[in-house]
């Protein structure tokens, strides 16, 4: 019991230290208005745009990333599958096409024994070496394209699977979609090379799916943090989610943890307006509303600490006071739609 309490306290402390860092998302000027929404698959260190006419898979991350409405008996899906970690002595930057070809052929042979490889070629995906295979499963009338590439000591396969007669129509969509695949950076603290106008952050390890509306710009996303901002009339408001997977974590917050959460705000010079222990999606939670000055800005905000079965979560909402109040319904909608997996 004492070891478990100590571990939980350490998790809370690490997240409190992160909360002390100033919230500032640097957004490049200009192209954000046309920036597409993206899916941020934190565990895979990858992000994808939403292909036109496709929808997020209902069971993702445990099923296809995207599905396309099709006639009964037809299939149209895009999936992302990962290998087990490779040899730890391997360089964690890239893999040569010859290795990827061998891996892809072995992977199909073991997982899709009925698959018939039709063609293959080396290419690039997300700036990484890749090997592309076209293959089919005649018994299921499926025609597929799989692109294998190496990220963070795993090989990933992005696969388009469609009914054989539909491949010619769907293949150009898939090729265009592959051009938008990006590797989530850890070297730059999750900063994206260009902001996304809304999207979905999926954290499989922590067990949550968080949707951000397209009126928000997402500028930070990795396996630890999601950061979005909304600007209006010279004012700004931010939404940040920080996660620390440390199961088992679904327990009430201790007095020490709540005191630490208060100290985080007090160190910033903020005044706590109210606090609550109302459950969040039926999970233990601790909520602090506050106000104060962030440099020369008068801000309002809220820290929402949540203990889920798989992780500790900190949802922070903070902005220029007048805009923050205006966005109350917007923040409420985002929080109401958080899904714990």
Q: What is the pLDDT of residues 273-306, one digit of tens each?
A: 999 999 999 999 999 999 999 988 999 999 999 9
At 133 the pLDDT is: 97
Question: Residue 261 above 90 pLDDT?
Answer: yes
At 164 the pLDDT is: 83
The whole-chain average pLDDT of the chain stands at 87
Mean pLDDT of 260-279: 96
Residue % of the chain over a pLDDT of 90: 69
Domain range 2-34+185-340, its CATH number among 3.40.1000.10, 2.40.128.20, 3.40.449.10, 3.30.450.40:
3.40.1000.10
At 70 the pLDDT is: 74
At 83 the pLDDT is: 93
Q: How many Å apart are CA 316 and CA 6, to the nearest integer? A: 24
The domain spans of the chain are: 2-34+185-340, 51-183
At 93 the pLDDT is: 75
Mean pLDDT of 252-259: 90
Q: Do domains 2-34+185-340 and 51-183 have the same CATH topology?
A: yes
pLDDT tier at 29 (50, 70, 90 boundaries)?
A: very low
Q: How many Å apart are CA 113 and CA 106, to the nearest integer? A: 10
Which residue did the predictor score with more confidence, 246 or 235? 235
pLDDT tier at 27 (50, 70, 90 boundaries)?
A: very low
At 316 the pLDDT is: 98
User: pTM higher than 0.85, yes or no?
Assistant: yes
pLDDT tier at 148 (50, 70, 90 boundaries)?
A: very high
Three-class SS string for the chain? Answer: CHHHHHHHHHHHHHHHHHHHCCCCCCCCCCHHHHCCCEEEEHHHCEEEECCCCCEECCCCCCCCCEECCCCCCCCEEEEEEECCCCCCCCCCCCCCHHHHHHHHHHHHHHHCCCCEEEEEEEEEECCEEEEEEEEEEHHHCEEEEEEEEEECCEEEEEEEEEEHHHHHHHHHHHHHHHCCCEECCCCCCCEEEEEEEEEEEEECCCCEEEEEEEEEEEEEECCCEEEEEEEECCEEEEEEEEEEECCCCCCCCCHHHHHHHHHHHHHCCCEEEEEECCCECCECEEEEEEEEEECCEEEEEEEEEEECCCEEEEEEEEEEHHHHHHCHHHHHHHHHCCEEC
pLDDT tier at 26 (50, 70, 90 boundaries)?
A: very low
Domain range 51-183, its CATH number among 3.40.1000.10, 3.40.50.10090, 3.40.228.10, 3.40.50.1220:
3.40.1000.10
Question: Residue 250 above 70 pLDDT?
Answer: no
pLDDT tier at 91 (50, 70, 90 boundaries)?
A: low
**pLDDT per position as a tens digit, 105-134:** 999 999 999 999 999 999 999 999 999 999
Phi/psi-derived region of residue 282, left when phi > 0, alpha when psi is between -120 and 50, beta in every other case: left
53 by Cβ neighbours in 10 Å (0-12 / 13-18 / 19+) ranks as: exposed
At 243 the pLDDT is: 94
pLDDT tier at 192 (50, 70, 90 boundaries)?
A: confident
At 140 the pLDDT is: 87
**pLDDT per position as a tens digit, 200-238:** 999 999 999 999 999 999 999 999 999 999 999 999 999
At 252 the pLDDT is: 82
């Amino acid at each position: 019991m004492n070891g478990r309490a100590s571990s939980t306290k350490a998790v809370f402390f690490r997240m409190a230290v992160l909360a002390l860092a100033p919230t500032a998302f640097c957004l490049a000027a200009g192209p954000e208005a046309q920036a597409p929404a993206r899916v941020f698959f934190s565990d895979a260190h990858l992000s994808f745009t939403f292909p036109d006419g496709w929808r997020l898979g209902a069971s993702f991350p445990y099923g296809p990333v995207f599905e396309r409405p099709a006639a009964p008996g037809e299939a149209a899906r895009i999936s992302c599958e990962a290998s087990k970690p490779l040899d730890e002595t391997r360089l964690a930057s890239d893999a040569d096409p010859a290795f990827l070809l061998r891996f892809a052929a072995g992977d199909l042979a073991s997982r899709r024994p009925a698959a018939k490889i039709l063609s293959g070629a080396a290419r690039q995906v997300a700036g990484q070496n890749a090997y592309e295979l076209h293959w089919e499963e005649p018994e299921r009338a499926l025609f597929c394209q799989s692109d294998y590439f190496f990220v963070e000591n795993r090989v990933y396969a992005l696969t388009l699977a469609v009914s054989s007669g539909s491949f010619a129509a769907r293949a150009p969509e898939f090729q265009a979609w592959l051009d938008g695949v990006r590797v989530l950076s850890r070297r730059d603290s999750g900063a994206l090379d260009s902001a996304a106008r809304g999207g979905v952050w999926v954290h499989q390890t922590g067990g949550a799916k968080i949707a951000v509306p397209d009126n928000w710009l997402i500028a930070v996303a990795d396996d630890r943090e999601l950061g979005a901002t909304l600007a209006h009339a010279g004012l700004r408001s931010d939404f940040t989610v920080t996660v620390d997977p440390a199961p088992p974590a679904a327990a009430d917050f201790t007095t020490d943890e709540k005191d630490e959460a208060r100290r985080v705000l007090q160190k910033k010079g903020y005044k706590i307006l109210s606090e609550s222990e109302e459950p969040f999606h039926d999970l233990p939670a601790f909520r602090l509303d506050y106000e104060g000055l962030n440099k020369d800005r008068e801000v309002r905000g809220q820290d929402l600490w949540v203990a889920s079965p798989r992780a500790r979560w900190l949802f922070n909402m903070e902005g220029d006071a007048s805009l923050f109040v205006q966005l109350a319904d917007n923040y409420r909608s985002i929080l109401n739609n958080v899904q714990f997996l």
